A and B are shown apart, each in its own frame.
Chain A
Amino acid sequence: GAVVSQHPSWVICKSGTSVKIECRSLDFQATTMFWYRQFPKQSLMLMATSNEGSKATYEQGVEKDKFLINHASLTLSTLTVTSAHPEDSSFYICSARRRTGYNEQFFGPGTRLTVL
């Protein structure tokens, strides 16, 4: 149990276009989902926290108009990278926190975004 999926697993897009990444909790309800960004050989950087039905909370330095997060249901959160540029190329990972229990987060497999 506690499986999180991400779609797509990789995406290549042209500069200036927008890209949407989906994060789904497949077998549990997630009150909170987290979005991370990871550069090569580096740690995960928390971008934002999203709670179902409310606005996402962004970490300092993360542009909320560029990285739009929607947590539409207890099993789905989306991250849209708007007007993507090459510097947005990265590995994006989501995680979901279960409705019950302690603070364990379950991680998705990640999405590799390459902006040309």
Chain B
Amino acid sequence: AQSVTQLDSQVPVFEEAPVELRCNYSSSVSVYLFWYVQYPNQGLQLLLKYLSGSTLVKGINGFEAEFNKSQTSFHLRKPSVHISDTAEYFCAVSALYNQGGKLIFGQGTELSVKP
């Protein structure tokens, strides 16, 4: 079984400042890793994903994340945030095999960007 822990429920930050949203996971099998963004009353949009290969993954809207296998982490970063980045962010994992593609989500991190 897998589990995901997002270490911060809320992250307030000023516009143009850098931000890091932390995600740790636990799994007995190899996993794919994802970050999604959710704007109010909307579905989820994929920001980026790690499947294999380079541990530094670049996504949309200037976000990137680094997979660290030894620390079982997949933290999301952006060097300079905008007001429009205010949203809920979810980290998720999916087992590579045998679980039908189920996604296990973290609790979410509310990013609030202030002017």
**Contact yes or no, B45 A49, CB < 8 A:** no
Contacts of A42 in B (CB 8 A): 107-108
Map CB proximity to B onto A1-27 as digits: 1 under 8 Å, 0 otherwise: 000101000000000000000000000
**Contact yes or no, A105 B103, CB < 8 A:** yes
Measured as residues with beta carbon below 8 angstroms from the partner, the interface class of chain B is 20 to 34
**Contact yes or no, B107 A110, CB < 8 A:** no
- For residue A67, CB closer than 8 A to chain B, the reply is no
Instruction: Specify the chain B residue showing the minimal Cβ separation from A2.
Output: B46
**Contact yes or no, B43 A105, CB < 8 A:** no
A27 nearest CB across to chain B (Å): 16
B60 nearest CB across to chain A (Å): 14
**Contact yes or no, A46 B108, CB < 8 A:** no
**Contact yes or no, A109 B51, CB < 8 A:** no
B3 nearest CB across to chain A (Å): 12
Q: Which 9 A-B pairs have the closest CB atoms?
A: A107-B43, A103-B101, A107-B44, A109-B43, A103-B94, A43-B105, A110-B43, A43-B107, A97-B101
Q: Interface on B for A, CB 8 Å cutoff?
A: 32, 36, 41-46, 49, 51, 90, 94, 96, 100-103, 105-108, 110
A selection of 26 A-B contacts at a CB cut-off of 8 Å is A4-B43, A32-B100, A32-B101, A34-B102, A34-B103, A42-B108, A43-B108, A44-B44, A44-B103, A44-B105, A46-B102, A49-B100, A93-B43, A95-B44, A97-B101, A102-B32, A102-B51, A103-B103, A104-B46, A104-B49, A105-B101, A105-B103, A107-B43, A107-B44, A109-B43, A110-B43
With A44-B105, A103-B103 already in contact, 15 other A-B pairs whose C-beta atoms are closer than 8 Å:
A32-B100, A34-B103, A42-B107, A43-B90, A43-B105, A43-B107, A44-B44, A46-B103, A93-B44, A95-B44, A102-B32, A103-B96, A105-B103, A107-B45, A108-B43
Q: Interface on A for B, CB 8 Å cutoff?
A: 4, 6, 32, 34, 41-44, 46, 49, 57, 91, 93, 95, 97, 102-110, 112
